[in-house]
Structure 1
Amino acid sequence: MEEVNQPPQNTLTNAAASGPESKENKAHNPWKLIMSLNRQQKMTFIAAFLGWTLDAFDYFIVILTIPYIAKEFKMEPSDITASITVTLCFRPLGAAIFGLLADRYGRRYPLMIDIILYSSMELASGFAPNFSVFIILRAIFGVAMGGEWGLGAALAMEILPPESRGLFSGILQQGYATGYLLASILHYAVIENIGWRAMFWIGSFPALLVIILRFFVPESPVWKAQHNASESTGKTWLLNTKLVLKHHWRRFIYCVLLMACFNFLSHGTQDLYPTFLKVQLGYTPAQVTILTVVANIGAIIGGTLCGYTSQLYGRKLVIIISAILTACFVPLYLLPRNLGLLMFGAFALYFCVQGAWGVVPAHLNELSPSEFRGTFPGLTYQLGNLISSSSAQIEAKLGERFKKDGSPNYGLIIAILTLIVVFSLVVLTLFSKEYKDIDFIEQAVEQSEINNEKNEKEKPDVEKNEKGEVIIENV
C-alpha cells in the first residue's frame, strides 16, 4: 500500500483540552478521554452509536426468528437464510449511494435519510404476506443498512480528538453487539407471546434518531475543511472522486479483502449460532437468549477494551492477537453440552471477535483518503460483507448435508470456517499499514494540495505553432 503524508500530531482540540498532562498520559486514562469531549462531540458520538446499534438490532431480528419465519412460510431454515444473504449483498449499494452523497453534501442529511429508510423497511417486514415480499423488503433494508455504518463512523471519527479515537472506535463498533443484545432480549419477551412479526414492528422506532441528528449534531468539521480546500483550488467533487480512484485503488482493494475476512469472522461465528443452539443442541428460547446475552456482553467488553488498547499498542497488533485468541476459543464455543461451559466459551469468543472489530472504525477511517472518507470506509466494509454474504447460508446447507446423530451438524461447519478465516485475517493484517493519531483536518487540507500538484503535473503542456496548431508536449 502506498504511503500517506502524515501531518504532525495534534493535542486535543481546544474544546477537549484540559490540564497540563501530556497527550500520552491522557491516552492512558479512558475516563479523562470521555470527560474531555465537549457537548457537540458527545451528542455526535451518541447519535452515531445509537444509529449503528439500532441498525444491527433490526438486522439480528431476522437471525433470531429464522425458525419461526420458516415455520410460517413452510420452508427450511436454510431457505430463510437467503434473506440474510440478500440483505448483505445489497449493503455495498447503500454504502456507495449514501457515501457519495455524504462526500458531496456532508454527513448529516444523508444519514437522516438512511435511518428513515431502514426504519420504514423494518416496519414493512412485519407485514410481509409471503417470503417473496419479505425478501424484497430485506433487500431494500440492506441498502439502508449499508449506508449507515460508513456515514456514522466517518461523522464520529472526524469530530473526535485523535487521542480518543481508539477508545471510541471500540465503543462505536459495539453498537453492533448492543443491537444483538437488545434483539435477544426482545426475542425472549416477544417471540413466544406475540409472534415474530411484532419484533419487526417494534424494530421500526429508530426513526426517532433523526430528531437528534437534525437539532443536536453539527456537520463534520473535516468535511467542511475538505469542501473548502476543494473550492479554493477549483476542484469539483467529481474530479476529487476520480483522483482518489486513480491514486488509491490498491488500498481500496486491500481494504475490501481485509473487511471480507472481518465479516466472515463475525457472520460465520454469529449468524447461525442461535439456530445451532435450538436445532442441534435442542435449547429452549430462554436458554438461547441467556447464551446470546452473555456472548454479547463479552463482545461489548472486548470491543471496548481492545479499541482502547489499540490506541496504546497499535491497530495491527491488537487485531492479530484478538484473531489468534478467537481460534483458541472455538472448541469451547461449540463442543460443551454443559450450559455453564458453553456460556463461558460464547463470552470468550465474542470478546475476541468483537475485540478485533473494535479497532475497525478507527483503522478504516485512518486508512481512508480524506476526500473519500464518506464513501471509502463504508464501501470497503460493505463490499467485504458482499463477499461474506453467503456465510450463514453456506453453513446451513453444509450443516444439513453433514448430519450428526440425525441432526444438522452446524457446529462442525462453523468451526472449520472460523479457523480458515482467522488464518486469512492474520496474514492480511500483517501486510497492512496504520496511521494512528493522524489529524484528519490537516490531512484533508494537505492531501488536497498534493492531489492538486499531481493533477497539474499530469496535465500535458500545450503550445501553439505559428499556424495556430496545438503542439502537446510531455505526454
Structure 2
Amino acid sequence: MGAFTGAFLRPNVANRLERLPMTNYQRSLFGIIATAWFFDSMDLGIMTFVLGSIKAEFGLSTAQAGLLASSSFLGMFLGAAIAGMLADKYGRKPVFQWSMVFWGVGSLACGFAQDVDQLMIFRVILGFGMGMEFPIGLSMVSEIVPAKSRGKYVAILEGFWPLGFIAAGILAYLTLPLIGWRGIFIALSVPAAFVFVIRRYVPESPRWLEEVGRNEEAEKVISTMEKSVIRANGGLALPEPAKQAAPSLLKGDKRALFAELWHGVYAKRTIMLWALWFFALLGYYGLTTWLGALLQQAGYEVTKSVTYTIYISLAGIPGFIFSAWLLEKWGRKPTCVLMLVGSAGAAYVYGQTASAQAPVEQLIASGLCMQFFMFGMWSVLYAYTPELYPTRSRATGAGFASSVGRLGSLLGPLAVGLILPFTGHTGVFTLGAVSFMIAAFVVIALGTETKGKSLEDVSG
C-alpha cells in the first residue's frame, strides 16, 4: 500500500485534466506548439528542394549528396535520445525552448558554410535541435489534451509537417532564383525567435510536475488552466473530477527511465515502436529527401522539379486530416497498418511511373497518392508513440523511438545515393515500399490499441 499513499485523498492532476472540456485555451496552447513544429518542419523539408542546387554548386556525386542529405538525421538521432531523458528529468518546457535555439543557430550557420564539410557539420547541429523538438512537442500536447481528443490533436500537430514541407517548397520556388540556398537557410533561422512566445505562454506539463513530486507547482499550473478553461467556456462550471484518483507511484518507486522501457509490458511496445520508426523513416526520408533531385536527374529543370514536388506534397494535407479522423473512428493500430501498406503500394507505383518517364500528369497523380499515405502515416506515428508509455518515462520512450527512427532517416538518403546509379528510380522506390511493408508487419504482430483510453489507463 505504501506505493499508493495519499493517492485517494484528492483528485490528481490527470483526473482534473481529463474532465476539462476542449476550449480555445487549450487550442491556443496547441497552436503555439504547432507553430514551432511548423517552422521546424520547414527547416527539415527545405533540403528536398535545395539538394539539387547544392549538389550542382559543390559538384557532388550522388553518394556525397546522399551523405549530405543524411547529415541532419545524425543530429536528430542524438537530439531525440538526449532530449527525451532531459525532458523527463528537468521538464518539457525548458528542453523544448533549447531545441529551438539549436535549430535556429544551425540554420543560420548553414547559410554561411564555406564548403560541403562545414555544411554537413551545421546540418548536424540543426538536426540536433529538430530531433530535440519532435518528441517533446508530442509529450506536451499528449499531456495537455484530454483522452477523448488526444489522438485527433496529436495527429493534427503532425499535420503541420506537410504544411511546413509545402511552405518550404513555396519559399524555395519564390526565393531560390533570387537569394540562393544560402539565403533560404538564413531566412529560416529567423523563426527561432518564436522561443520567446513559448517561454511566456506555454506552461510546464502539470502531469510531469506531479510525477516528479513538485506538487505546489503542479497545483498552481492546473488551477490556472482550470480558470482559463472556465473563462474560455463562458463561465460554465467544470464537471467534478473522478471521485477516485488514479494511483501514481511515489518518486522512490521509479525505475531508471531507460530501463523501464524494457520492463514488463513496455518491452514489447518498445520493440514494436523502434522497428516501426526505423523502417517507416528509412522508407520515407529515403524517398522524399531525393524527390526534387531525382526529378532534376530525370531531366526536369530546377523550377519545374520544385513545382512538381510542391504539387505532389499537397496530398499530405488531406492525408493527415483523413488519418486524424480515422485514428479516433477506427483506432491507432488499424490506421497505422493502412497508411503503411498504402505508402508501400503507392511508392512502388510512383517508382514505376518515374522510371518509365510517363507523362507529367501520371507522375503527379501517382505522387499525390504516395504523399497522401505517407503523411497520413506520420500522423499515426506521432499520435500512437507517446500513448504507450507512462508520464514518468513518456518523453524518454518517445525520444528513443524517434532517435532510432533517425537512424533509418540517416541510412535512407545515403542508401538511395549509393543504389541510384545501379538500380535507377525503380530500385529506389522499391526499397521504400519494402521498408513500409516491414513496418506494417511489425505493427500487426506487436501493436496494441490505445483509442479512447486515458494515458494512465494505457500505462497500466
**TM-score grouping bracket, smaller chain normalisation:** 0.7 to 0.9
Tell me the residue number matched to 2:452: 437
Question: 2:30 aligned with 1:45, yes or no?
Answer: yes
Tell me the residue number matched to 1:174: 159
Q: Give the TM-score normalised by the residue count of structure 2.
A: 0.83
Tell me the residue number matched to 2:426: 412
| 330-339 or 383-392: bigger deviation | 330-339
- Written as runs of structure 1 = structure 2, the 5 A alignment for 1:166-205 is 166-205=151-190
1:225-263 residue CA offsets vs partner (Å, 9 max, x unmatched):
322399983428774554455443443233111111221
User: In 1, distance between residues paired with 2:341 and 2:108?
Assistant: 40
User: In 2, distance between residues paired with 1:218 and 1:12?
Assistant: 14
SS at match of 2:212: helix
SS at match of 1:228: coil
Shift, 1:338, TM fit: 1.8
Shift, 1:332, TM fit: 4.6
Shift, 1:188, TM fit: 0.7
Tell me the residue number matched to 1:389: 410
Tell me the residue number matched to 2:294: 276
- Written as runs of structure 1 = structure 2, the 5 A alignment for 1:125-140 is 125-140=110-125
User: In 1, distance between residues paired with 2:97 and 2:15?
Assistant: 31
SS at match of 2:204: coil
| Contact 1:171/1:300 (8 A) holds in 2 | no
Instruction: Choose the corresponding residue for 1:97, options 70, 75, 82.
Output: 82
- Written as runs of structure 1 = structure 2, the 5 A alignment for 1:87-166 is 87-166=72-151
Tell me the residue number matched to 2:68: 83
User: In 1, distance between residues paired with 2:164 and 2:311?
Assistant: 13
333 and 124 in structure 1: CA distance in 2 versus 1, 3 angstrom threshold: same
SS at match of 2:279: helix
User: In 1, distance between residues paired with 2:358 and 2:84?
Assistant: 45
Question: 2:202 aligned with 1:213, yes or no?
Answer: no
| Contact 1:10/1:439 (8 A) holds in 2 | no
The higher radius of gyration belongs to 1
| Contact 1:55/1:118 (8 A) holds in 2 | yes
**Backbone CA RMSD of aligned residues:** 2.6
| Contact 1:265/1:353 (8 A) holds in 2 | no
| 247-256 or 305-314: bigger deviation | 247-256
| Contact 1:122/1:141 (8 A) holds in 2 | yes
User: In 2, distance between residues paired with 1:237 and 1:121?
Assistant: 36
User: In 1, distance between residues paired with 2:249 and 2:15?
Assistant: 24
Shift, 1:438, TM fit: 2.5
Instruction: Choose the corresponding residue for 2:385, options 364, 379, 388.
Output: 364
44 and 349 in structure 1: CA distance in 2 versus 1, 3 angstrom threshold: same
SS at match of 1:78: helix
Tell me the residue number matched to 1:422: 436
Instruction: Choose the corresponding residue for 2:277, options 259, 264, 284.
Output: 259
What letter matches 1:162 in structure 2? A
1:160-193 residue CA offsets vs partner (Å, 9 max, x unmatched):
1111122222211122212211111111111122
Q: Give the TM-score normalised by the residue count of structure 1.
A: 0.80
What letter matches 2:400 in structure 1? L
Instruction: Choose the corresponding residue for 2:321, options 298, 304, 307.
Output: 304
User: In 1, distance between residues paired with 2:296 and 2:253?
Assistant: 55
Tell me the residue number matched to 2:238: none
Tell me the residue number matched to 1:406: none
Which structure dedicates a bigger proportion of its chain to helix? 2
Percent identical pairs in the alignment equals 24
User: In 2, distance between residues paired with 1:236 and 1:93?
Assistant: 28
| 350-359 or 318-327: bigger deviation | 318-327
| 226-235 or 56-65: bigger deviation | 226-235
Segments of 5+ residues of structure 1 without an aligned counterpart are: 1-8, 17-35, 403-408, 448-475
| Contact 1:100/1:375 (8 A) holds in 2 | yes
232 and 379 in structure 1: CA distance in 2 versus 1, 3 angstrom threshold: closer
User: In 1, distance between residues paired with 2:212 and 2:432?
Assistant: 42
154 and 292 in structure 1: CA distance in 2 versus 1, 3 angstrom threshold: same
User: In 2, distance between residues paired with 1:370 and 1:65?
Assistant: 39
298 and 45 in structure 1: CA distance in 2 versus 1, 3 angstrom threshold: same
Shift, 1:149, TM fit: 0.4
